[in-house]
Amino acid sequence: MKIPLMKVGALTCLTLGLFQGQAFAESGITNACSSFGEIQSNVNPSHKQINCLLTNAAIEAEIPPEVVKAVATQENGDWRQFNEDGKPIISGDGGIGLMQLTNKSGYDQKKLENDLVYNIEAGVEVLSGMYSRMDLPKIKGAGRRVIENWYFPVMAYNGTKPVNSPLYQENGKINPNAYQEEVFAEIENQSYLNGTKLAKYPFKTTDFQYDRESTENIIFKNLEYTLTDQTHDSVYWFKAGDTVVTTSSANIRKEISTTAGAVSVPPNTSLIITGNFNYHESKGNKFVFYPVQTEDGKIKGYVSSAYISNRLSIVAPI
């Protein structure tokens, strides 16, 4: 775990019993990822399979997969449930497995340790529940598929404690060490390859009431923000027939696994999605690839989701 702090967010929500874990029946995400093979007990699946599991768990919960995968990276950079000996990874603060949940009421301790799919679905359920909290700020006019609208739910996953304040109280500067700031930096890095900057909130120190010397939760004085920067819809809900636009120069690959024979297209090239996205085997590629063609049909292949956008991804100030 990158943050050497108590995992107070997941601990708090479970302690309060806000989320009653369920025996996630025959999992939809397992079925969605069945083409990668059966998940073996106490063995970490391939990167492609874990990417698929995280992606589909997020989609089922209507959370941008960019967010869920960045949280998983922040919690467990290698996306592992088990160590080299096949034993569940348990951190010094009690965080369990891939999503590093700390078990309290509502979840099965042994399943959190030994069942990767259960661990992922529990973590996603906790994060989804944070979005429903009425005491956390939201972006005016934005919904669940807007990445920036998950800033505060991500914060709450770790804990709405002074250490995670978006601003330093004493000087008003951004706190780059806040959990959610590090997660959003991961989103820019792994989902956009640092080619896109997420919209910033117009924070003021008066938005957050807390005592730096206390472990009491932050009180949020402003529960709704209007952002003037462009916000970003998740790219994971595109379907065949949708038109997207490249955000920078992008390679249209003949095969996902190689750039050999790829054709480069310039920024603002319109592409038509022709099928479902797929995954790359490299651990460095946490994004996905869509099959596409140019509007004239002359170029066909696969494009990284890091380089495409919905034209309607701006939430205009109201």
Q: Do 216 and 281 lie in a common domain?
A: no
Question: How many domains, in total, are found in the chain?
Answer: 2
Residue 135 has pLDDT above 70, yes or no: yes
Tell me the residue type at 122. A
* Domain encompassing residue 174: 1-234
> Rounded CA gap, 221 and 209, in Å?
7
Q: Do 171 and 254 lie in a common domain?
A: no
Tell me the residue type at 169. Q
Task: Specify whether the CB–CB gap between 101 and 119 falls below 8 A.
Answer: yes
Q: Do 147 and 286 lie in a common domain?
A: no
Residue 128 has pLDDT above 70, yes or no: yes
Write the CATH number for 289. Answer: 2.30.30
Half-sphere exposure of 150 (CA within 13 A, CB side): 32
Q: What is the pTM of this model?
A: 0.90
| Confidence band, pLDDT 50/70/90 cuts, at residue 28 | confident
Q: Do 75 and 151 lie in a common domain?
A: yes
Q: Do 212 and 305 lie in a common domain?
A: no
Q: Do 249 and 182 lie in a common domain?
A: no
**Residue 120: DSSP 8-state:** H
> Rounded CA gap, 71 and 65, in Å?
10
**Residue 190: DSSP 8-state:** I
Answer with the one of 234, 254, 274 that is the final residue of a domain. 234
Q: Do 43 and 114 lie in a common domain?
A: yes
Q: Do 154 and 282 lie in a common domain?
A: no
pLDDT number for residue 60: 98
Is 315 a member of any domain?
Answer: no
Tell me the residue type at 21. G
Residue 92 has pLDDT above 50, yes or no: yes
Residue 4 has pLDDT above 70, yes or no: no
